[in-house]
Amino acid sequence: MQLILFLGTWQFAINFATPSFTVYLVRQLGYDMTVVMSLSIASQVANAITLRNWGAAADRFANKSVLLVAAPLYIMCIAAMIGGSQIADERLRLAWLAGLHLLMGAAVAGVTLATANIALKLSPRGEAASYLAASAVVTALAAGSAPILGGMVADFFAARELELVGRWTNPEGVYTYLSLALSNWDFYFLLSALFGLYALHRLGFVREEGEVGREEIVRHMLRETRGTIHNFSTVTGLKALTAVPSSLVRELRVRRRYSRLQAARSSADAPN
């Protein structure tokens, strides 16, 4: 039951804000769809690169241990999306968003893998089908209701703005050292992060055999990621990346030759 509560609250938290990422980038930050698609591709690349490492960590330690690292990372990235509207420099802002999308892609890979595995592992013996069905219903309801609720309050947040300004006054003058202005979609990211913190609180009640501390998982992931990047930078890694396209080209060539051979035989067998 504790796991189902965590999965439900987690799906509500992430789906409250993530559907508005594209609208935020286009309408509030003014980017075109080329930038949006590029950021999405970067996130998917990070997801593909780290998925295997997350799987190795889950097998070696526990799925909850993976969640203790990947889930907070994803929540922090959602909250950090507020920084996109606070950074004035265009290059720095784009670099900030690109870094966040890379981290979110890696975090999503870990969360998706671990939540699927832990639901199978902790399902009651003899009642796995009903347990997984109940879990699917709860997560689907949470994931579906979150964006609906977000859309209902869109007009409310569109007309509101929260500004935090820090000033230091001394005999030499007045210095502004902090200026944070939240408006429109920024509130979605902040609320989603708060919902995510509650989901992490629910995760603390989930018990799984073999779970270890967050520090051990972080060290393992850093070590494995460095190895993966190193492999991609070598000739062996490049050969592995081009193996699939090369095999597809060879298969197409063989099929073309076979088609020409069949056509030649058909023309030869045809009556004059």
- What is the CATH classification number for the domain harbouring 43? 1.20.1250.20
Terminal C-alpha separation, the chain = 78
Which pLDDT does position 248 carry in this prediction?
45
Same domain? 133 vs 252: no
221 and 70 Cβ atoms separated by less than 8 Å: no
* Count of domains for the chain: 2
Residue 179 in any domain: the answer is no
Same domain? 75 vs 135: yes
The string of pLDDT tens digits covering residues 110-164 is 999 888 888 888 888 777 788 888 888 998 999 899 989 888 888 788 888 888 8
Same domain? 149 vs 17: yes
Q: CB within 8 A of 207, min separation 6: which ones?
A: 2, 64
Domain span holding position 28: 2-159+185-212
Task: Establish how many alpha carbons lie within 13 A of residue 79's alpha carbon, considering only the half-sphere containing its beta carbon.
Answer: 13
Residue 225 in any domain: the answer is no
Residue 114 in any domain: the answer is yes
Same domain? 41 vs 110: yes
CA–CA dist 15, 149 (Å, integer):
10
Same domain? 31 vs 90: yes
pTM of the model: 0.75
Q: CB within 8 A of 152, min separation 6: which ones?
A: none
Residue 55 burial class via C-beta count within 10 angstroms: exposed 0-12, middle 13-18, buried 19 and up: middle
Same domain? 242 vs 155: no
Which pLDDT does position 122 carry in this prediction?
82
Same domain? 238 vs 155: no
Best CA proximity match to 8, nearest among 121, 124, 109, 146: 146
Which pLDDT does position 105 carry in this prediction?
93
In the predicted model, residues of the chain with pLDDT beneath 50 are 238, 240-248
Alpha carbon 76 to chain centroid distance?
Answer: 12
